[in-house]
Chain A
Amino acid sequence: MHSDHGVVPEEYRRYLARKTLVVALAVLALGGSLVLALSIGAAGLGPADVLSSLLGLGASPRVDAIVRGIRLPQALAAMVAGGGLAVAGAVMQAILRNPLGSPFTLGISHAAAFGAAFSVMALDSGLMTSGKAAVTITSPWVATASAFAASLIAAGVVIAISRSRGARPETMVLAGVALGALFTAGTMLLQFFATDVQLSAMVFWTFGDTSRASWGELGLMAGLTLASTGYFLANSWNYNAIDAGDETARGLGVRVERVRLAGMFLASLVTAVLIAFLGIIGFVGLVVPHMFRRVIGADHRFLLPASLAGGAVLLLLSDTAARMLLAPHLLPVSVLTAFLGAPTFLWLIIRGRN
C-alpha cells in the first residue's frame, strides 16, 4: 500500500534523543539532589560521609544513624511524593484534557486529607499526640482506604462534571474550589469535636510534611507510585490520542471512557496514599507537568517519566530548603511549595487568558 523504502528522518531521531536526554538529565539531577539533601542539615556532614554511609563503606555509627535513620527516609518520602503527585497531575491533565488538572486544584487532595483525618478521629486508626510525630497512624491500611474512598468521591464528582458540562478549565477549577471547600469544612467539623491535643495534632498534620513516613509506609508509597507510573506509561499513546480529542481517540480504537476512569481511579489512589501518610502537599502536581510540557512537549511517552523525576527533584529540593530556611526550626515543605506554586498557578491563569 505505501512505499516502505523510506528512512525515518534523522531530524526525528535527534528530536527523540533530545527528549530522552532531558529525562536522563532529570534523573541525574535527582541523584545529585539526593546527595545534597542528605548532606545538608544540623549535624554538618559532608557529601563524602553521606556517600560512604549510603554505599556501606564503613561510616561511623553516628553518621549512619543520621543519614540512614533520619535523613534518608525523609528524602525518599519527598522524592516519592513529588514524583507521584507530578505523575498524577500529568495524567489528570491528559485525561480531562485540561491544563489546570492536578490532585490539589481538583480538590482531590483535600478529600484525601479529610478521609485520613476521619479515619484517625472516628475509626480509631491512629493515635494523636501533640509531640513531633503529631499523628501516628496505627493502621495504615484503614487510613489509606478511608483517604482513598474520600478522594474517589471527589474524583467521581470531577468526572461527572467534566462529562455533563465539558472539561473546560474554568469549570474544573470552580468544581475543585467547591470540592476543596467542602472537604476542608468536613475536616473542620472533625476538628471542632476534637480534644485540644487532637486538634493541635490534626492542624499540625494537615501541613504536608515528609518527615513522618516510616519505612513500611515508604515502601507502600514507592511501590504504588512506581506501579502506577508503569501503567500510565503503557497508556502513553492513549493519552496522546485523548489530547487530540475524544472522537479522534475513539476513531483510533481507544476506549476513551475506560482509559479515563482507570486513569482517574489510579491517579486518585496514588494521591490518597501519599496524602494519608504525609498530609497535603500542593502545586507539585500542577506545576511540574507544565514545566516539562514547555521543554519537551505534550508527548506522554516523555512527559510522564520527566514529570516523575522532575517532581521528585522539585519536592526534594523544596524539602531541603524548607529544613534550612528557618533553621533550627523545620518548616513543613507544603508551606514552601504553596509559596512557590501559587504564583505559578496565577501566572498560568493570566497567560491562559491572553
Chain B
Amino acid sequence: MLSVNDLHFSYNGRPLLRDIDFRLERGELLAILGPNGVGKTTLLKCLNAILKPASGAVLVEDRNVLALSPGEIARDIGYVSQKGEASRLTVFDAVLMGRTPHIRWRMGEVDLLKTEAVIRTMGLSPLSMRHIDTLSGGELQKVCIARALVQEPSLLLLDEPTSALDLKNQVEIMNLIRRVADGHDMAVVMTMHDLNMALRHADKTIFLKDGNIHAMTTTSGVTPEVIQEVYGLPVHVHRIDGQAVVLPRN
C-alpha cells in the first residue's frame, strides 16, 4: 500500500537522502534504523510531505502523496512527532483534535463518537477528562497515538515512539502499535534507536547509512555484519528464547 520510489531529499543544496526505494503492505511494521543524524526522521517526514523531497514519489494506495493538499494527506496518513507538546486541553479534546483534517468548521456528533471509540479501545477512558499537561510521558504518548488514530489513516508514521519511555511503557506502547496495525489493517513506519526493540516488535527493517538504504530485510534477516557496517561497531546477535538480541562485542 506504501510505495516509495527513487526519493531524494536535499537541505540547503546538500543531499541528505538518495535513491530511497521501498514498499510496505497493510498490517506491516517497518522500523527505520541507523546512526544519529543519518536522516531517519527526515525520511519519515518526507513520507507525509511535512518536508518536500527534491524528487521521487511517495504512493499510498497508488495516490502520489506529494501531489495532495496537506488536508488530503492528513486524512490518509497519521503522524506522531517525537515530542508531543502538552497544553491545557483535556485528553478527550486532545484526541478529538485528530478530526481536524475531516471537518470544515466545527466538530460534529460523528467526530465525538469516533473519538470516544478510540479512547475506549486504547484504554484511555479513565483519563479522558484529565488535562494532558498533568499526564505522564507514557500516557501522553498514548494520547498522541490515539489522536493519530482518529484521523482514520491507512498509514501511521511514528517518530521514535518509545525513546522517552521506561521499559514497561516501551513494551506497552509497542504492543499497542502492533494491535492497532492488526486491528485497523494499517501500515506503520517508525524511526527507532533501540535495535532490540526494533528486532522484537517490527516486521521489516531499513538501515540507513550515508543517506542511502544500506539494507532492507525482514527482522529475522538482520545479521551482525549489517549492524557493524551501519553503526561501525562489532556486535553479536544472540537468540534468547527465540528472540534476537544485539550485544556489542568487546
Contact = CB atoms under 8 A, between A and B. Distances in A.
B84 A299 contact: no
Interface stretch (A134-142, A248-256, A275-283): A248-256
| A237, A241, A243 pick with most chain B CB within 10 angstroms | A237
B100 A248 contact: no
| A247, A251, A299 pick with most chain B CB within 10 angstroms | A251
Contacts of B128: 9, 11-12
B123 to A, nearest CB: 14
Contacts of B84: 244-245, 248
Interface residues of A, number: 33
A253 B74 contact: yes
Interface string A1-42: 111101111011001000000000000000000000000000
A251 B79 contact: yes
A122 to B, nearest CB: 42
Contact of A7 (B73, B100, B116): B116
Contact of A244 (B74, B97, B116, B117): B97
B73 A253 contact: yes
B233 interface: no
B69 to A, nearest CB: 8
Given A2-B114, A237-B100, A252 B151 contact: yes
Contact of B74 (A7, A12, A15, A251): A251
B81 A248 contact: yes
A297 interface: yes
Contacts of A1: 152, 184
B109 interface: yes
Contact of B70 (A4, A253, A293): A253
Nearest to B185: A1
A240 B89 contact: yes
Majority secondary structure, A binding face: loop
Nearest to A245: B85
Interface residues of B, number: 54
A291 interface: no
Contact of B100 (A234, A253, A301): A253
Nearest to A11: B129
Interface in B56-97: 69-75, 77-81, 83-85, 87-90, 92-94, 97
Contacts of B117: 2-4, 6
B171 interface: no
B113 A8 contact: yes
Contacts of A12: 90, 92, 112, 128-129
Nearest to B111: A8
A7 B117 CA distance: 8
Contacts of B103: 237
B116 A6 contact: yes
A234 B100 CA distance: 12
A6 B92 contact: no
A247 B50 contact: yes
Contacts of A243: 85, 87, 89
B121 interface: yes
Contacts of B173: none
| B75, B101, B151 pick with most chain A CB within 10 angstroms | B101
Interface string B99-141: 0110101110110111011101100010011010000000000
Contacts of B74: 251-253
Given A15-B129, A247-B81, A251-B79, A9 B50 contact: no
Q: Which 6 A-B pairs have the closest CB atoms?
A: A253-B74, A251-B79, A253-B101, A298-B88, A2-B117, A247-B81
7 contacts: A2-B152, A9-B92, A240-B89, A245-B83, A245-B85, A253-B74, A253-B101
Interface of B: 45, 48, 50, 69-75, 77-81, 83-85, 87-90, 92-94, 97-98, 100-101, 103, 105-107, 109-110, 112-114, 116-118, 120-121, 125, 128-129, 131, 144, 147-148, 151-152, 157, 184
Given A1-B152, A251-B80, A253-B100, 11 more contacts: A3-B121, A6-B113, A8-B109, A9-B128, A11-B128, A15-B92, A237-B103, A247-B50, A248-B84, A250-B79, A297-B88
